[in-house]
C-alpha cells in the first residue's frame, strides 16, 4: 500500500469500518462541529504506514495540525470496544516535538504486540489545559448520576491514578452538581452538558477524556468511548430508572420538591411483598377501588394520568401531585367533597343505612378457595379472579366507608371492632385459650393486608406471640356503635377476612408451580395473569422469583426517607456516609477479598502467589498485569474513572482506595476487606 492517502487519514476520512473506535468516535464528533466543545484536528496512521515510504506525506499532513508539540496515542481496532476498553493497555506519548515523532510512533506501535496488524496510531496537537479529567456520563457507582474526576494540567495523572482527583457528580434528571466548588461550576456545567450531548449522539453512555482552557473558556474532547462496566446492581438501576420516569411524568416535578411521600397505606403494610404491592397499587388506581369508591359516593373522579400509590424500591408511597389533586391541601379535605359533607350532616342515617346494606351484600369469593388445582393456569385464574373481585367489588365499599368516616370527623367515636380485637388479644395472652379467639379472628393476622403473612388460624403460635403486645388492654365490654367509624371498621374487617381465601389460592398456585415456600410472593398480579393466559414460560418462574429476591435484598439496604425528591432518586444514599473503623472506597466490583499483603515494589523480587493483596501508592495501569495473580488491590489514591479501575471492573477484580495504605500496611499482614470497604488487619 504505497498511496499515502490510504495510510494517513484525517478526521474527515476516519469514520469508517476498519478504524479503531478512538479515532472513529473523535472523527464523528469533529464532523458535528458543535458549539459546546472542540475536537482537536487529528491524523490516523494505518498499520501500513512506513517511515521510509510515507514520512514526507506525513510531514505535509502535519501542517494542518500546527507545529507541535503533539500527542501520539494508540488506536487499536479492538480498543475502546463495547465489552472491553483496554484502558491504559497501549502506549501513549505526550508533548512530542516534530522531530521526535518517528520514535514516539514506533513506541506506540511496539506496545500493540501481536495486534499491530489491526492497530493504528493517532496524532493530535498537544492541548495544554488548565484543567483536565475524565467524565463518565453514567457513573460506574450510580445509574442516576454522571461522574467526573479532574485535576490541574493534563488528564494523564488522573487516568494513570497518580493523583487523588477532584470528584464531582451530576444528576442526570435534575442537572444538579453534587460536590462542585463554586469556582469550578461554569466549567463543570459545560463538561456535563457536553457529555449528555455526546452520549445522545453516540447512542450509549460514554467514557470521555476532556481538557479545559480557562482563559478562552474552551472545552476540548480528547476521547469518547462506550462505558464497558459498572459497580451498581442492575436491579437497583432498573428500579431507579422506573421511579425517575414516574416522577418526571408529573407536571410539577421540580428540584427540591417531594414527588413521592409517606402514605397511610404504609401503616398497614410497612414492607409489602411484590404480590401485595401490585394489588395495592391497583386498589388505589383510578380504575380500581379508589375510582369505584368515588363513584359509589357520587363524587366525580378527577382525570388522573398517574397512579396514586406507587412502589419505590419495595416501599409504598403516595404520589404527591395526585394526592394534592384528590385531597387538596389537607389530608381530610377530599377534592370536591363539600356536597358529601353536607349530605353527612343533613342525612346521616341515609348514608349509614347504605353502608349497612353494602357491607351485608359483599360478594362471595368467586371460586372455591380450597380446590386442589393440578394445572398452573387453573390455579392462576383462581387467584386472578379473586384479586379482581376484591379490587372491583369488595374494597371499594371499605374505601368509601373510610372516606365517609374521615369526613364525618368522628375522632371520638368508639372504635368497636378494633377495640374488640385488642381486648380478645389481651385475653389470649393471659389465658392462652385459643379456640374462641381463632374462631372469631382466625382469618386475620398481625399484618392483615400482607398476603404473605400467615393468618392466625394457620399459625396459632404466632397469634399468642402477637397477643403479648396487648397485655395491658382492658377486658371490658365494647358496645358496637352505629357510626361511620363503626361501619368503616366493619367493612375493613370483612375485606380482610375475604383476603384469607385469596391467600389460600395463592399458596395453591405456589404448590402447583413447585416453588419454595414464600417464593410465589415475588410474583406480581401481572405475572399471575400472564400465567393464567398461558403467556408466561413456567420454566422461568423459579428463576424470576430468585432474581427478584436478590434485587429486593439490595433494595432493603437503601436509605429512603418519608419524602422522595428527584435528587434523592438520583443519589439514593449519601455518599459521605461511611462505615465505622478502617474504611476505604471500593472503585471496582463491590465484593470482599482477603489475603496476605504484598507491596508492589517487591513483586519484581518474587512472583505473586495468587493469595496476596497488592498494596500500592498509585492505581497505575501497570498494575493490571498483576490482577490475575492476586485476590485484590489496595491503593493510597486513584479514582473510579482511572484506567486501572476501569479494567478491574471489566475483570471483576476488587480494588479499594484507602489513604495511607502503602505506608501503613506491611508485607505479610493478613488483610480482610468487606464488600463495603471495611478493612480488618491482623499482624
CA diameter of the chain:
107
At 315 the pLDDT is: 92
**What's the sign of the alpha-carbon dihedral 216, 222, 227, 229?**
negative
At 581 the pLDDT is: 66
pLDDT digits (tens, 9 = 90+) for 407-452: 887 755 555 788 889 999 999 999 999 999 999 999 999 999 999 9
At 46 the pLDDT is: 86
* Single pTM value for the model: 0.80
At 89 the pLDDT is: 63
- Across the chain, what does the average pLDDT equal? 86
At 77 the pLDDT is: 65
- pLDDT above 90 covers a percentage of the chain that reads 44
Distance between CA 166 and CA 209 in Å, rounded? 15
Q: Given strand 177-178, what is the order of strands in its sheet? A: 177-178, 166-171, 145-152, 131-136, 206-213, 218-226
At 478 the pLDDT is: 66
Q: Given strand 593-599, what is the order of strands in its sheet? A: 585-586, 655-657, 632-637, 612-618, 593-599, 670-673, 679-682
Residues of the chain scoring pLDDT < 70: 1-5, 77-89, 115, 117-118, 328-337, 411-415, 478-481, 573-581, 602, 605
Distance between CA 24 and CA 226 in Å, rounded? 12
pLDDT digits (tens, 9 = 90+) for 339-397: 788 888 888 899 999 999 999 998 988 888 788 899 999 999 999 999 999 999 999 99
DSSP per position, 91-111: --EEEE-GGGHHHHHHHHHHH
pLDDT digits (tens, 9 = 90+) for 522-570: 999 999 999 999 999 999 999 999 999 999 988 988 888 899 999 999 9
Amino acid at each position: 500500500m504505497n498511496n499515502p492517502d490510504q495510510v494517513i487519514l484525517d478526521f474527515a476520512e476516519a469514520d469508517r469500518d476498519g478504524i479503531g473506535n478512538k479515532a472513529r468516535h473523535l472523527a464523528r464528533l469533529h464532523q458535528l462541529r458543535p458549539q459546546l466543545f472542540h475536537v482537536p484536528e487529528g491524523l490516523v496512521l494505518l498499520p501500513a504506514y512506513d517511515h521510509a515510504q510515507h514520512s514526507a506525506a506525513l510531514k505535509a499532513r502535519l501542517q494542518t495540525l500546527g507545529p507541535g508539540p503533539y500527542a501520539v496515542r494508540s488506536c487499536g481496532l479492538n480498543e475502546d470496544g463495547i465489552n472491553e476498553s483496554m484502558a491504559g493497555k497501549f502506549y501513549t506519548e505526550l508533548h512530542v516535538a516534530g522531530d521526535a515523532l518517528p520514535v514516539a510512533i514506533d513506541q506506540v506501535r511496539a506496545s500493540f504486540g501481536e495486534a499491530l496488524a489491526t492497530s493504528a496510531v493517532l496524532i493530535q496537537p498537544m492541548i495544554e489545559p488548565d484543567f483536565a479529567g475524565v467524565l463518565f456520563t453514567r457513573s460506574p457507582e450510580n445509574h442516576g448520576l454522571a461522574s467526573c474526576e479532574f485535576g490541574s494540567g493534563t488528564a494523564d495523572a488522573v487516568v494513570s491514578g497518580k493523583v487523588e482527583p477532584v470528584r464531582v457528580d451530576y444528576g442526570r434528571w435534575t442537572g444538579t452538581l453534587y460536590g462542585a466548588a463554586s469556582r469550578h461550576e461554569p466549567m463543570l456545567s459545560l463538561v456535563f452538558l457536553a457529555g449528555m450531548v455526546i452520549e445522545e449522539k453516540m447512542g450509549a453512555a460514554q467514557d470521555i477524556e476532556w481538557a479545559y482552557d480557562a482563559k478562552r473558556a474552551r472545552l476540548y474532547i480528547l476521547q469518547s468511548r462506550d462505558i464497558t462496566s459498572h459497580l451498581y446492581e442492575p436491579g437497583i438501576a432498573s428500579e431507579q430508572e422506573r421511579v425517575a420516569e414516574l416522577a418526571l411524568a408529573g407536571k410539577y416535578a421540580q428540584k427540591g420538591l417531594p414527588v413521592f411521600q409517606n402514605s397511610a397505606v404504609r401503616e398497614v403494610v410497612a414492607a409489602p411483598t411484590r404480590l401485595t404491592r401490585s394489588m395495592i397499587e391497583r386498589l388505589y388506581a383510578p380504575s380500581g377501588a379508589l375510582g369505584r369508591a368515588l363513584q359509589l359516593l357520587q363524587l366525580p373522579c378527577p382525570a388522573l394520568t398517574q397512579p396514586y400509590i406507587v412502589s419505590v424500591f419495595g416501599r409504598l408511597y403516595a404520589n404527591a401531585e395526585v394526592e394534592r389533586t384528590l385531597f387538596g391541601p389537607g389530608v381530610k379535605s377530599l377534592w370536591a367533597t363539600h356536597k358529601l359533607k353536607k349530605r353527612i350532616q343533613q342525612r346521616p342515617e341515609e348514608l349509614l343505612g347504605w353502608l349497612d346494606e353494602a357491607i351485608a351484600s359483599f360478594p362471595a369469593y368467586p371460586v372455591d378457595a380450597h380446590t386442589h388445582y393440578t394445572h398452573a393456569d387453573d390455579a392462576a385464574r383462581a387467584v386472578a379472579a379473586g384479586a379482581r373481585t376484591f379490587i372491583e367489588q369488595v374494597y371499594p365499599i371499605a374505601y368509601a366507608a373510610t372516606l365517609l368516616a374521615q369526613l364525618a370527623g368522628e375522632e371520638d367515636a368508639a372504635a368497636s371492632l378494633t377495640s374488640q380485637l385488642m381486648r380478645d388479644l389481651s385475653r389470649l395472652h393471659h389465658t392462652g385459650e385459643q379456640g374462641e379467639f381463632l374462631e372469631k379472628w382466625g382469618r386475620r393476622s398481625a399484618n392483615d393486608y400482607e398476603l404473605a403473612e400467615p393468618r392466625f388460624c394457620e399459625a396459632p403460635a404466632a397469634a399468642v406471640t402477637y397477643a403479648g403486645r396487648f397485655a395491658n388492654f382492658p377486658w371490658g365490654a365494647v358496645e358496637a356503635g352505629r357510626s361511620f367509624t363503626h361501619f368503616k371498621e366493619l367493612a375493613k374487617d370483612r375485606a380482610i377476612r375475604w383476603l384469607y381465601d385469596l391467600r389460600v389460592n395463592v399458596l395453591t398456585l405456589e404448590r402447583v408451580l413447585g416453588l419454595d415456600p414464600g417464593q410465589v410472593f415475588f410474583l406480581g398480579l401481572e405475572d399471575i395473569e400472564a400465567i393464567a393466559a398461558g403467556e408466561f414460560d413456567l420454566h422461568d418462574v423459579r428463576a424470576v422469583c430468585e432474581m427478584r429476591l436478590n434485587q429486593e435484598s439490595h433494595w432493603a439496604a437503601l436509605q429512603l426517607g418519608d419524602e422522595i425528591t428527584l435528587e434523592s432518586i438520583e443519589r439514593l444514599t449519601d455518599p459521605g456516609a461511611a462505615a465505622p473503623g478502617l474504611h476505604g472506597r471500593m472503585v471496582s466490583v463491590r465484593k470482599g477479598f482477603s489475603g496476605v499483603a504484598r507491596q508492589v515494589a517487591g513483586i519484581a523480587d518474587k512472583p505473586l502467589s495468587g493469595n496476596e493483596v497488592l498494596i500500592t501508592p498509585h492505581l497505575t495501569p501497570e498494575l493490571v498485569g498483576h490482577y490475575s495473580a492476586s485476590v485484590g488491590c489496595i491503593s493510597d489514591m486513584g479514582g473510579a474513572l482511572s484506567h486501572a479501575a476501569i479494567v478491574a471492573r471489566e475483570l471483576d477484580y476488587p480494588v479499594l482506595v484507602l489513604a495511607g495504605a502503602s505506608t501503613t500496611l506491611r508485607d505479610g499482614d493478613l488483610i480482610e476487606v468487606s464488600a463495603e470497604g471495611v478493612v480488618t488487619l491482623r499482624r
